[in-house]
Amino acid sequence: MKLDAVIFDMDGTITDTEKFYNRTWPLAFAACGYPDFTREDALMQRSLNHADAQKLWGSRYGEDFSFETVHQYNTKLVLDLMEKEGIETKPGLDQLLTYLKDHKIRAAVATATKLDRALERLKTVGLENAFDTVISASMVKQGKPHPDVYLHVCKELGADPAHCLALEDSPNGIRSAHDAGCITVMIPDLTMPTPDIEPLLYDWAGDLSKVIPLIERLQAE
């Protein structure tokens, strides 16, 4: 099979930043009057679009709950934390990007993060020119776990989703890529694949360098 492109999630897949969100979401919820929100709850928030987050947490906290208020508070907290502690890339990224370039396989980004922040984050780690396109969920009607952002990337590239490999660390991202028709591989970050996610995966890899043999396996099929 000819692979058209590899599409990367950003936070937790390209950049080691999901850990910051896991720390700040409980602080943001607590500051807004919801002190029972835990880091376990924050795992469900990974890559989740605003409308679905409002429904999810509104069902717990009531009709007066405003996810947008919590989100704005969290954005300040997480950006301050990233600036203080610095951003690093995930293991194996350099090897994988070099492999893709050497084999003329396009690389793209499909992120839940707003486009300006995503571009700034990529620039911070020296990756501003590493990808053929960067698409944010803010550019589509529905963000992850809906398929829109992956479909937009594929349209931008002129690629068949069935010939695109998607790399994700979270269940919401996995569902988004799978429902778009992409070949989906999980790169575990804060959690491992769960029984409900495993059927949606082509495979999983311990780090990004281990995606290379998966690509070679796919291309031999």
The 10s digit of each residue's pLDDT in 106-119 is: 999 999 999 999 99
Instruction: Give the mean pLDDT of 124-131.
Output: 98
- Residues 16-56: pLDDT tens digits? 999 999 999 999 999 999 999 999 999 999 999 999 999 99
Q: Tell me the pLDDT band of 120, cut-offs 50, 70 and 90.
A: very high
pLDDT recorded at residue 64:
95
pLDDT recorded at residue 172:
97
Structure tokens at 106: 């396009």
Q: Tell me the pLDDT band of 196, cut-offs 50, 70 and 90.
A: very high
Share of the chain above pLDDT 70, in %: 100
Q: Residue 185 belongs to what H/E stretch?
A: strand 183-186
pLDDT recorded at residue 4:
96
Q: What is the mean pLDDT of the chain?
A: 97
- Residues 50-62: pLDDT tens digits? 999 999 999 999 9
- What is the number of alpha carbons within 13 Å of residue 159 lying toward its C-beta? 29
User: Distance between CA 193 and CA 171 in Å, rounded?
Assistant: 8
Helix, strand, coil shares of the chain as percentages rounded to 5?
50, 15, 35
Query: Quick check: 211 and 103 in contact, CB under 8 A?
Result: no
Share of the chain above pLDDT 90, in %: 100
Instruction: Give the mean pLDDT of 72-101.
Output: 98
Query: Quick check: 161 and 150 in contact, CB under 8 A?
Result: yes
pLDDT recorded at residue 80:
98
pLDDT recorded at residue 202:
98
Range 178-197 burial, b when 16+ CB lie within 10 A, else e: bbbbbbbbbbebeeebeeeb
Given strand 106-111, what is the order of strands in its sheet? 133-136, 106-111, 5-8, 164-168, 183-186, 203-204
